[in-house]
Structure 1
């Protein structure tokens, strides 16, 4: 059918303002959108005006003559409607009416809703209804010529003279119509869900929700969610690509090897915040090996790579193992053999317990050695259980088995970073929260609902 249908309450400045001789909202929308049908919703007061001189249909018919076209006019009478401020009444009444209108339309038709005419309760009723129901309709707003609130004058209203004096009939008159891009309730709900996922560091879930929305709705922040997800996955190369594209720098530690180690520790911190204790405990062993090794290198000037070899497996992966030839006759060999009573495997894998023994022997820092000992003890007492057994790991489990709370373990790891020589400021440990706030700012989650209603 390809019809345009305008549903509109009727307000005090319709059809033409007696104050300034410009179109009221209904006439102005019809002038510029040229609907095929206008459905006018009239309260008792507006019906009284209509019955005086047929002013609304008169002006619409005169406009059609001017534009050389035809337009159907329908009036919905609400003669009993005198309490024009009652929002609930309009919401329910408009819902029934608009559902009825859609029942007469096909997919080629278009519905226009005038949100500039009528009482504040009527306008709000239409806005809220559109937001709740998400009709495929256009919300049309009409600015006043003075860009301020209209004054209403009904006394001695002369519709015939006003039509002749109507400034909008002049060639080149401004089009004061605008379409409101009011956010749907579904969009607002989804953005709130995304926000909650961001604050719990679940960027994959946030992306999943974002991808159920239109690209235009998420274009300002989707790239940042993707960057955050790649960051948590330690996909450094993708993070760098996205950071360059977005001009967004959220990584505090820049040097490649140091950066990976620190980002891994930040990931552990997130697991702890989310109560993912099993994953937190399982993550201890890899970071302790790397941290202990770096501490040994910085504090004791010993690089264990000088005593190791790399073995390439069939699948292409590489394993680092002690090299018997490189160890032979060195003080390192002596310390390791003594520490493990001759059971040290000179061709075996490098473990944190080996590096711990070297730090304890070569370091003179009592606090460092105590820290190393406590972390290694924690790993020994609970890590294997979490890694190999089907068990429940809770805050209480960790405390009972290690003597330390999970928070205390994380604090010890953070303290150990001080001995690595990596320049880490205290605020770096909050860099994920800082990144989250930056993403939320990109989402512009500020009073969207209130802005729409106003």
Structure 2
């Protein structure tokens, strides 16, 4: 169980009033926080210095029922006018942020019942809007069920030791007066639901935009995912180096070259587009991915010494050298002409030529060749429409267009699965299957921190 910390102001009912717990002590009794961050006004600070009431309370608590685990962290604010909202807000927020930094993985309890009305307003805002993941706002009812009018702790003659010894809330059957207002829980649940929805849609830019609702320690991961999903590779790498996670963001069997890194990231983008139903963009993005993957497959299928049939340009484009193929593999060149029904010349590698050349070279499994042929059909039928039509491409549109020579139709999910296998086979010495689910693991990690 995560450590608990309590954030509290101190009022004139704390720590004990009329031999009953004040709000701070009552929350400590029933939630048992390991640390209590206590914000004191100048008036409360003077009382503490005069009679050590809080120090005595923690000594009593640690001896009686906290087993020495309750620790107090004081913030002597020096505030004189604690009825001024502007005066109390900034130092309270600053002390709260300090607590969060020192306890990033803890469950945070906020005492909503101690302090001036202005302090309680700020505390309520923290309970609802803080970007820390696990916060509970707690209110404590007055023992009599109505406002107390006597025996406050700022009166002359207050004896904290006597109050503690005679405290009726020490009795085993004393009622628990703590409650967690449903309003705060509803608002926190709503925020978590919104974040969960954006995670499911993999809309990392939108998540980044509501960063003030996120635990600060996961915001860098959100920024990494946003950059990565936008193929901002260098920015994603830069952010990844700042993160410490229980899993690898770039799993690989060994150091990966630039070509594999780019192709694998493009594959992950296609997978995200498929998972989130963004089929128009999926179709538009498919061509460059398959072109580069086919180039790799062609190079692996060519006999030694003929690899220069594929020529990679510095601008990222890929050229098919038909003249080299004719010189080094004339029979394959003739068969390619026959399948293309045209005399093939040097050009940028296209799906039309690439798919047929792979069929000629005959090194890929039949189901992969059929998939590539279906993708060529999809590219010729849907890509131009996706770029110009007014309505979005659906998975059914893809299935109608993505059909191989055996009349087998492919949906986006099956294409992504087959592409993953092709990528693994194309880079067996580098590709780690854990890469395929890295966004899922990031999403699970973020959800656990909310």
Give me the TM-score of the superposition, normalised by structure 2. Answer: 0.56
Matched, 1:408 2:414: yes
Question: Do the aligned residues in 2 keep the contact of 1:296 with 1:302 (CA within 8 Å)?
Answer: no
Match of 2:86 among 107, 110, 125: 107
Match of 1:35 among 43, 50, 57: 43
Question: Do the aligned residues in 2 keep the contact of 1:298 with 1:421 (CA within 8 Å)?
Answer: no
Q: How big is the shift at 1:351?
A: 0.6
Select between 329-338 and 297-306 the one with higher mean Cα deviation.
297-306
Distance change (3 Å), C-alpha of 1:353 and 1:302: farther
SS at match of 1:245: coil
Deviations 1:406-426 (A, max 9, x none): 222223323333542436455
Distance change (3 Å), C-alpha of 1:369 and 1:109: closer
Where do residues 293-442 of structure 1 align in structure 2 (5 Å cutoff)?
Answer: 293-301=295-303, 306-307=308-309, 317=315, 319-323=317-321, 326-330=324-328, 331=330, 332-344=332-344, 346-363=345-362, 365-402=365-402, 403-422=409-428, 424=431, 426-441=433-448
2: CA distance between counterparts of 1:363 and 1:419?
15
Q: How big is the shift at 1:267?
A: 1.1
Question: Do the aligned residues in 2 keep the contact of 1:320 with 1:350 (CA within 8 Å)?
Answer: yes
Distance change (3 Å), C-alpha of 1:267 and 1:18: closer
1: CA distance between counterparts of 2:304 and 2:262?
21
Question: Do the aligned residues in 2 keep the contact of 1:190 with 1:209 (CA within 8 Å)?
Answer: no
Question: Do the aligned residues in 2 keep the contact of 1:281 with 1:382 (CA within 8 Å)?
Answer: yes
Q: How big is the shift at 1:208?
A: 0.7
1: CA distance between counterparts of 2:359 and 2:39?
87
SS at match of 2:249: coil
2: CA distance between counterparts of 1:238 and 1:353?
35
SS at match of 1:35: helix
SS at match of 1:321: strand
Deviations 1:157-183 (A, max 9, x none): 9x9xx94865599xxxxxxxxxxxx99
Q: How big is the shift at 1:329?
A: 2.9
Matched, 1:201 2:211: no
Question: Do the aligned residues in 2 keep the contact of 1:14 with 1:24 (CA within 8 Å)?
Answer: no
Matched, 1:241 2:238: yes
Question: Do the aligned residues in 2 keep the contact of 1:134 with 1:184 (CA within 8 Å)?
Answer: no
Where do residues 17-36 of structure 1 align in structure 2 (5 Å cutoff)?
Answer: 17=19, 33-35=41-43
Distance change (3 Å), C-alpha of 1:243 and 1:168: farther
1: CA distance between counterparts of 2:124 and 2:230?
38
Question: Do the aligned residues in 1 keep the contact of 2:295 with 2:310 (CA within 8 Å)?
Answer: no
Question: Do the aligned residues in 2 keep the contact of 1:293 with 1:303 (CA within 8 Å)?
Answer: no
Deviations 1:271-315 (A, max 9, x none): 111110101111211121122222222244478861355678xxx
Structure 1 partner of 2:273: 271
2: CA distance between counterparts of 1:121 and 1:105?
18
Question: Do the aligned residues in 1 keep the contact of 2:224 with 2:235 (CA within 8 Å)?
Answer: yes
2: CA distance between counterparts of 1:419 and 1:323?
24
2: CA distance between counterparts of 1:64 and 1:11?
11
Match of 1:225 among 222, 225, 241: 222
Q: How big is the shift at 1:129?
A: 6.6
Structure 1 partner of 2:406: none
Question: Do the aligned residues in 1 keep the contact of 2:207 with 2:222 (CA within 8 Å)?
Answer: yes
Q: How big is the shift at 1:430?
A: 1.9
Structure 2 partner of 1:174: none
Question: Do the aligned residues in 2 keep the contact of 1:335 with 1:357 (CA within 8 Å)?
Answer: no
Deviations 1:254-284 (A, max 9, x none): 5132232122111111111111010111121
2: CA distance between counterparts of 1:285 and 1:431?
23
Based on CA coordinates, which of the two structures has the bigger radius of gyration? 1
Unaligned runs of 5+ in 2: 1-8, 28-37, 52-80, 93-110, 129-136, 138-142, 144-150, 164-180, 403-408
Distance change (3 Å), C-alpha of 1:222 and 1:356: same
Distance change (3 Å), C-alpha of 1:191 and 1:374: same
